[in-house]
Amino acid sequence: MAKIEDILALERIENDIFRGIATETLLQRTFGGQVAGQSLVSAVRTVDPAFGVHSLHGYFLRPGNPEKSIVYQVERMRDGRSFATRRVTAIQDGKAIFTMSASFHIEDHGIEHQDVMPAVPMPDELTDAMDSPDPEYRWVHREWAEWEFRFVPQDRIVRRDGSAAQQQLWFRSRLPLPDDPVLHVCTLAYMSDMTLLGSSMVIHRDEQIQGASLDHAMWFLRPFRADDWLLYDQTSPAAGFGRALTQGRIFDSRGQFVAAVVQEGLSRTPRP
């Protein structure tokens, strides 16, 4: 697996056109987080550095071929005094496979509050996914070997009242990353697609489904580092009609609420 710095180091073909590398994978389709992360990088490169990304909204239109590079075309939708907006289309073989809108904001002052981080075991109390007896957790390690994962066992999760399905894990880069804050934001966009749809399956472990990310929305709330421990608190509040809704709250190890994610994914019974 390529290093995250290489995955996110896009080639600039034209002023607003970029190309991302193909990476080695165990997946049959290009990892959705890779397309989202590379799309965000391409958008960032067309915005004044005074603006920081605060949200993104993307749709997965077609499966990507993991053996081919992807071209990203950026449209400059708005450049205002406080906000800037970009729209990115990811293209393979002349067809759009993903589209994203990203919004950027110059930091302001205003009210502040946040949810409290849930009570969870700390990473040093949990087993590294590479050593887990659970084959699904070991598969996660094989696909993203550059990352360290510590899943919270289901019997140690403090359940929210009325919650249908929950999953929690800590993750971080195994190696130190450069200090560039933009790299950490784009890295989290890459990692945010990882395991999220799986939260819908924790109460359906014996069922076979065809799964894929359909759309992905993300909000960046506070600064963080992707090479420090991050808690991914995931829930799936509803599933039906072949789709599952999933949500994620991401906290750093100090309890700061740094990002929020919402995704709908395909979760249909395989067709004959």
The catalytic site residues sit at 193, 213, 263
Are both 35 and 165 inside the same structural domain?
no
Sign of CA dihedral 41, 27, 234, 252: negative
Are both 139 and 261 inside the same structural domain?
yes
Are both 124 and 226 inside the same structural domain?
yes
Asked whether the beta carbons of 86 and 46 are under 8 A apart, the reply is yes
Mean pLDDT score, 13-33? 93
Are both 142 and 79 inside the same structural domain?
no
pLDDT digit string, tens, across residues 101-153: 999 999 899 999 999 999 999 999 999 999 888 888 888 888 888 999 999 99
Q: Whole domain around residue 143: which residue ranges?
A: 117-272
Which is nearest to 26 in space by CA: 143, 195, 191? 143
Per the prediction, the chain carries an average pLDDT of: 95
| Widest pairwise Cα distance in the chain | 56
Number of domains in the chain: 2
CATH number of the domain enclosing 143: 2.40.160.210
Q: Which of 79, 108, 137 is the last residue of a domain?
A: 108
Is the per-residue pLDDT at 67 higher than 90?
yes
pLDDT digit string, tens, across residues 170-191: 999 999 999 999 999 999 999 9
**Would you call 10 helix, strand, or coil by DSSP?**
coil
Is the per-residue pLDDT at 272 higher than 80?
no
